[in-house]
Structure 1
Amino acid sequence: MQPSDRPIKILWMIPKWTLPVTDGARVATDSLIRNTISAGANVDVLCLPQQFEVTDQAEMKRAWGVNNIFVIPRVLPEKKFEKNFFYLWQLLTNPLVPLTFSSFSTAKLKKEVQLHISSNNYDYILLDGLHLGAALLNNGKFSKLPQIIYRAHNIEVDLWKKSYKEKKSPLLKLIIYFQSRLVEKFENDIINNSHGIAAISQEDLLEIQQISKTPTELVPLGLNFDSPLEACNELNTKFLFIGRLDWPPNKDGLEWLLKEVWPSVISNRPEAVLKIVGSGNGEWLKNYSHLKGVQMVGFVDSIRDAYRDCHFTIVPISYGSGTRIKVLESFALGRRLISTKMGVQGADLTANEYLNAETKEDWIKMLSSIKLDSEQQQKLDRARLIVAAKFGEKNIGIKFYKWLQTVL
């Protein structure tokens, strides 16, 4: 179809309050919505936050330039005992809904969301994440709704399949296997019933195309590359790990590095420092508080400040899908990247644009010897230009909006 001349009216659904921008999912949402609006879209936001989240609609309007903001809180208890009871009740009353999606599928929430949508005239409903679909699906279908655009941040079932393989308890394996099958069916339902799918990485795009003939488009993460940090002046080489600390690929990768790699690195290079920054539950890090050279910072208000005193960023990830925000942030903020191939999945990097380490031996050798000398700085400067051309947020917003115009 030919692009329409009138602005497209979108109801952009988000699963949590996005401001302040404190993690990768929030960065992805913030960047795409701002730049899609800048490209010409007419956007309302419908947020389904947990009931205890603090919301500031005036701040969001200032930051994004959206027309209207609607908030429908969802019930998900904070305390562990109450949350477990909630999940047990959902398992009994909605056994075919994946447990981690159940707070989006309560009868009250679904009624409010679908009533709001039916009372307004939108060209598209944009699901910014898979879980939001639980508020719209009825018996595996989107019924009596405007066209749905699904923004796929990853392939969700891949994480469940990985967890199933790693569990040793027969009971846990059975539970996770059952849940993974529910997630897989749910994900396929969303993909097959959407009018269009915006995949965040080429790898995810190809996997989605194997599932469905739904129109798809590669819409990668976009960042602002205009303000890199100055070179780090710290005397001792400092490495940064940044990311949500309870997201399984991050947790497993970092824990492996702390257990298998860092003791040898600090033995070879006593002055080395590993700085760990991130939101989410990082209680498990207390098990490694005895390690020398490790700075456990946790949550920070400023992402730029997290990178400022570090020479290199590290991504020791061995599984997962989508694109890691921290990979692109490294280039945007001017820091040399050390990563596995899986860690840079979705970033379309060549071997010349980052430092690769796969095995335990690779990581020990790399972290024990690498220095940010003039050669490494020149490689970083060249790589930044290449990555900025692919992932500049303004161009991605324009590309996404043009695609929406063609599929309307």
Structure 2
Amino acid sequence: MKILILSTWFPYPLNQGSKIRAFFLIKALAENHEITLISFEDAPIQPEWKEEIHKYCKEIIIFPKQPFAYQKTKLLLGFFSTKPSTVFAGYSKDFEALVLQTAKQRNPDLIFAFTFVTAPYALKTDIPLKVVDADNLLAFMLYENYQLAQGLLQKLRRYMAYIKFKNYESNIYRHFDRCLVVSEKDVDRIKTYIPFTDQQVLNVPNGVNTQTHKPGTIAKQKKQIIYNGAMTYYPNYDAMFFFLKDIFPRILHQLPGTQLNITGKTQGVPIENLPMTKNVRLTGYLPDIRPIVSSSSVCIVPLRQGAGTRLKILEAMALGTAVVSTTKGAEGLSVENGIHLLIADTPEKFAKAVIQLMEDEELNQKIVQNALSLVQNIYNWDQIGANFAQQISNLSNIKNHA
């Protein structure tokens, strides 16, 4: 088939969860299909990035605009719209024209839209097969934000944002032949507010490249723990606030000298509001986090909110680093507490779990080996991609015989 792909993010370099997901799904489709990619320019695109994506896409068309750059006046006007403010403010007639023109010229058999940002443009076309990757179900994340709201005004604003996004996702996604989500839990969730058939929703989990992410020869630093998530994403910031305020002091009390490394960008993040200590190091953006994850004895995932599944957990597991997570952090993953990782939700239990993995080498290694087997057998991108590509081929066959 000829496939037209619309991407919110340019799918390279592989430095962010949504880009990683897009890259490996595109790679899987490219095995047997001809791909044309239209992508927003979320950051200045380097020639070598395009060169890498050209291995999988016959044609790459860059739309020179950031997907989340909004005019303030449009955002304000969006408050009075039935659509979410970001959708109202971010819709581009120029991008729509580009999609329609490309569809007319290339005559693709299928259009595949990544996230809610590009989904409405796909529906403007008369391409016979339409697929959307819902990725994170933002309506559910907004509902969690509403539940955490304090004060009547904040509750009202967050509830309105939730209702708008829930209605928007329902009105858009229901018109696609297939909608991708990242876990069986999200399959059940999305069906609560969108009237999908069982065939319409596909569970295509996130994964890890087990060829590039594998246990290395780097020595473990017994008192080094890591959080590999940029705090520019609010759930990551909230996770670190929770950990530094309520959990880390308990760990330091029992294991003085423990070092926490936090990776990722911090531009625009109110670091001054975090209860930092000399035992915390902000590494900033690292082009390759594998060495620092591999050398850590424990990867912490103290998330209290957010959506989707955590690539940071899968990457740590593939690299041979034991994980301690909250229930929310491990949400959607086929993991068992005490087998593949340790799960704890209170400050006391979370600190105890981290200390246990730092002190008990036998337990640490048992968790590491079980987790490694899990990602190699279930969460490797080669297997996920092959299953996804087969589902798309099945869709084409069903449509052709309809």
The alignment's TM-score, normalised by the length of structure 2, stands at: 0.88
> How do 1:48-197 residues align onto structure 2 when only pairs under 5 Å count?
48-50=40-42, 53-56=43-46, 59-63=49-53, 64-74=55-65, 83-91=71-79, 95-136=81-122, 142=124, 144-197=126-179
Structure-2 change in CA distance of 1:100 and 1:125 (3 Å): same
CA offsets 1:240-280 (integer angstroms, 9 cap, x no match): 10113132322222211111111222122111111101236
Of all paired residues, the percent bearing the same amino acid is 21
C-alpha distance in 1 between matches for 2:18 and 2:395: 25
Please say if 1:363 is aligned against 2:355. no
Please say if 1:396 is aligned against 2:388. no
2:37 to 19, 32, 45: 45
Please say if 1:32 is aligned against 2:25. yes
C-alpha distance in 1 between matches for 2:391 and 2:47: 29
C-alpha distance in 2 between matches for 1:26 and 1:350: 28
**2:399 matched to which residue of 1?**
none
Structure-2 change in CA distance of 1:143 and 1:88 (3 Å): same
Structure 1 residue identity aligned to 2:237: K
**2:15 matched to which residue of 1?**
22
- Contact 2:244–2:275 at 8 Å: present in 1 too? no
Structure-2 change in CA distance of 1:25 and 1:143 (3 Å): closer
The alignment's TM-score, normalised by the length of structure 1, stands at: 0.87
Q: Secondary structure at the match of 1:47?
A: strand
Q: Secondary structure at the match of 2:179?
A: strand
Unaligned runs of 5+ in 1: 1-7
2:188 to 199, 206, 214: 206
Please say if 1:383 is aligned against 2:365. no
- Determine which structure has greater relative contact order: mean sequence separation of CA pairs < 8 Å that are 6+ residues apart, divided by chain length: 1
**1:322 matched to which residue of 2?**
308
Q: Secondary structure at the match of 2:202?
A: strand
- Contact 1:339–1:354 at 8 Å: present in 2 too? yes
Structure 2 residue identity aligned to 1:223: V
C-alpha distance in 2 between matches for 1:108 and 1:74: 10
Give the superposition deviation at 1:379. 3.3
CA offsets 1:207-237 (integer angstroms, 9 cap, x no match): 2234223422211112222341325535441
Structure-2 change in CA distance of 1:13 and 1:23 (3 Å): same
**1:3 matched to which residue of 2?**
none
**2:210 matched to which residue of 1?**
225
Structure-2 change in CA distance of 1:375 and 1:329 (3 Å): same
Structure-2 change in CA distance of 1:87 and 1:280 (3 Å): farther
C-alpha distance in 1 between matches for 2:218 and 2:66: 44
C-alpha distance in 2 between matches for 1:378 and 1:231: 18
C-alpha distance in 2 between matches for 1:16 and 1:278: 18
- Contact 1:12–1:125 at 8 Å: present in 2 too? yes
Unaligned runs of 5+ in 2: 397-402
RMSD: 2.4
Structure-2 change in CA distance of 1:75 and 1:295 (3 Å): closer
Please say if 1:263 is aligned against 2:245. no
Structure-2 change in CA distance of 1:323 and 1:364 (3 Å): same
**2:400 matched to which residue of 1?**
none
- Contact 1:16–1:47 at 8 Å: present in 2 too? yes
Q: Secondary structure at the match of 1:101?
A: helix
C-alpha distance in 2 between matches for 1:209 and 1:261: 36
C-alpha distance in 1 between matches for 2:112 and 2:47: 19
Give the superposition deviation at 1:83. 4.7
User: What is the aligned length?
Assistant: 389
Give the superposition deviation at 1:15. 0.6
Give the superposition deviation at 1:336. 0.8
Structure-2 change in CA distance of 1:175 and 1:110 (3 Å): farther
Q: Secondary structure at the match of 1:193?
A: coil
- Of 341-350 and 163-172, more deviation after overlay is shown by 163-172
- Contact 1:31–1:223 at 8 Å: present in 2 too? no
C-alpha distance in 1 between matches for 2:93 and 2:294: 47
